C-alpha cells in the first residue's frame, strides 16, 4: 500500500488539464466517493495496526495534494477564460435597477391617450412667447384687468416677451397656422409668478384641448369632458359645470367632478362639498377665431385647459405640489407600478 501511495503522489504532482471538463474528470477519478483515493481509505481498515500511523499520514498527504493540485488547475483555467474574453462570465449579474417615470409624465400620457381615443391629436408650442400669442389674440386687451388673473413673468429687456402663463397660447399658434377641422390637445409647461406653497408653484403643467369645426356645440364639449372624467377617475364619476369667466371663451365654465375619494359624501379633499374643480373650459370666443384668421360665421369650437399637477394630486391623493419638483426617489418610486 505504501508503494501504491507513493506512486500516486508522483502521478498527482504532474497532473495536467487543458479544459475545465478535464479538471472535473480528474476530480471524479481521484476524489469522488468511488474514486481512487476513497478506495485507498476503504482499504486502510486492513492495514496492520503498527503501520496505520505512517500509512494514515501518507494517505492524508495524498488527499490534500490531490485536492490542491486539482483546485490549482481549475483556478488557472477559469482565470484564463476570464482574460481571454475580457469579462468574468462566472460572476453573478448585478441586479439592474429600473428607473421610474415621473408621475406628471405618466398622467400626461394617460390624458393624451384618453383624448386620442376620441380623435384628438397632439401639438406643442414654445414656452417663451410673445404677448400676442399668450394674451392679445385671446381677447386680453392691453391693460385689461383680466391679465392679472395670471401673474406673468416678463423678460426684463422686452416686456413683449413672456413665459407663457397657460397653454392657450398654443391655441393661437395652431389656429393661425391651420384651418378647421382642428381637434387637438396641447400638453406643456407653464409659468406663473406665484409664491411657492403646497398648493401653488411658479411652474406647472397644463393640457389644453381645442376642437373647431362647423356646428360644434356646448353639448359636444360636455360630452367630451364627461368621457374624459370617467376614463380618468372611474365610470361612476359625475361632472358639474359652473358658469365662469375667461376672456377667450364665451360662455365659459369651470368643471367639477364628483369627489372620487369620498364618493360625494364629503371629505377633506373636496372640503366637504362632494365636488372638486379640475378644469376651465368654454366655447371659443368668436373674436378669438377672427383674430386668428378663422371665419367665426362658419366655424365654432370649444376649448378647455387643465393642470396636470392638479389631476395627478387628485388621482393619487398627493397633498403637496412641491413633491413633483423635488424629485426625491422615495416619492418617485411610489409610481413604479402605476402603469
Q: How far apart are CA 286 and CA 295, in angstroms?
A: 8
Report yes or no: 281 and 240 within 8 Å, Cβ to Cβ: no
282/126 Cα distance (integer angstroms): 23
Does 280 sit near ligand PHE (CB under 6 A)? yes
Any contact of residue 125 with ligand PHE (CB under 6 A)? no
The smaller minimum CB distance to ligand PHE, of residues 61 and 122, is found at 122
Cis (ω within 30 of 0) for the bond into 181?
yes
Q: Is 305 in the site for ligand PHE (CB under 6 A)?
A: yes
Residue ranges in 23-52 that form contacts with ligand PHE under rule CB under 6 A: none
Among 246, 299, 324, 335, binds ligand PHE (CB under 6 A): 246
CB of 252 to ligand PHE, least distance (A): 6
| Residue 281 binds ligand PHE, judged by CB under 6 A | yes
Helices (H), the chain: 2-13, 20-31, 36-43, 49-85, 103-116, 131-134, 168-177, 218-233, 286-291, 308-316, 323-326, 329-332
59: left (phi over 0), alpha (psi -120 to 50) or beta: alpha
Contact residue for ligand PHE among 69, 152, 172, 249 (CB under 6 A):
249
Binding segment for ligand PHE among 5-13, 39-47, 53-61, 274-282 (CB under 6 A)?
A: 274-282
Q: Rule CB under 6 A: is residue 139 a binding residue for ligand PHE?
A: no
> Could you tell me what percentage of the chain is helix, strand and coil, using 3-state DSSP and rounding each to the nearest 5?
45, 20, 35
C-alpha cell read off for 260: 372620487
125 vs 282 by CB, closer to ligand PHE: 282
Within 10 angstroms of residue 106's Cβ, the number of other Cβ atoms is 18
- What residue number has its CB nearest to ligand PHE? 305
Q: Is the dihedral of CA 219, 221, 224, 227 positive or negative?
A: negative
Q: Is 207 in the site for ligand PHE (CB under 6 A)?
A: no
Q: Per rule CB under 6 A, is residue 166 in the interface with ligand PHE?
A: yes
Q: How far is the CB of 200 from ligand PHE (least distance, A)?
A: 13
Binding of residue 301 to ligand PHE (CB under 6 A): no
Q: Which residues bind ligand PHE (CB under 6 A)?
A: 166, 168, 208, 246, 249, 280-282, 303-305
Amino acid at each position: 500500500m505504501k508503494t501504491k501511495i507513493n506512486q500516486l503522489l508522483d502521478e498527482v504532482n504532474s497532473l495536467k488539464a487543458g479544459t475545465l471538463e478535464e479538471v472535473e474528470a480528474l476530480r471524479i477519478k481521484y476524489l469522488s466517493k468511488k474514486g481512487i483515493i476513497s478506495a485507498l481509505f476503504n482499504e486502510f481498515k486492513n492495514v496492520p495496526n503498527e503501520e496505520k500511523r505512517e500509512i494514515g499520514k501518507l494517505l492524508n498527504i495524498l488527499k490534500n495534494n490531490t485536492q490542491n493540485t486539482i483546485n490549482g488547475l481549475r483556478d488557472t483555467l477559469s482565470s484564463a477564460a476570464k482574460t481571454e474574453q475580457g469579462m468574468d462570465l462566472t460572476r453573478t449579474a448585478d441586479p439592474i435597477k429600473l428607473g421610474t417615470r415621473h408621475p406628471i409624465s405618466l398622467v400626461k400620457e394617460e390624458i393624451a391617450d384618453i383624448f386620442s381615443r376620441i380623435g384628438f391629436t397632439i401639438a406643442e408650442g414654445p414656452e417663451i412667447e410673445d404677448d400676442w400669442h399668450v394674451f392679445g389674440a385671446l381677447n386680453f386687451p392691453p391693460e385689461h384687468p383680466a391679465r392679472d388673473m395670471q401673474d406673468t413673468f416678463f423678460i426684463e429687456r422686452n416686456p413683449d416677451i413672456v413665459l407663457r402663463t397657460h397653454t392657450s397660447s398654443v391655441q393661437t399658434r395652431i389656429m393661425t397656422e391651420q384651418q378647421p377641422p382642428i381637434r387637438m390637445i396641447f400638453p406643456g409647461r407653464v409659468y406663473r409668478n406665484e409664491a411657492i406653497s403646497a398648493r401653488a408653484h411658479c411652474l406647472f403643467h397644463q393640457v389644453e384641448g381645442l376642437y373647431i369645426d362647423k356646428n360644434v356645440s356646448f353639448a359636444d364639449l360636455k360630452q367630451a369632458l364627461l368621457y374624459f372624467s370617467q376614463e380618468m377617475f372611474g365610470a361612476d364619476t359625475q361632472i358639474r359645470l359652473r358658469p365662469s369667466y375667461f376672456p377667450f371663451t364665451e360662455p365659459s365654465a369651470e368643471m367639477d367632478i364628483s369627489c372620487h375619494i369620498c364618493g360625494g359624501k364629503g371629505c377633506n379633499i373636496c372640503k366637504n362639498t362632494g365636488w372638486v374643480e379640475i378644469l376651465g373650459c368654454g366655447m371659443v370666443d368668436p373674436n378669438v377665431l377672427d383674430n386668428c384668421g378663422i371665419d367665426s360665421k362658419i366655424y365654432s369650437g370649444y376649448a378647455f385647459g387643465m393642470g396636470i399637477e392638479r389631476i395627478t394630486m387628485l388621482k393619487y391623493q398627493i397633498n403637496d405640489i412641491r413633491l413633483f419638483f423635488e424629485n426625491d426617489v422615495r416619492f418617485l418610486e411610489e409610481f413604479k407600478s402605476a402603469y
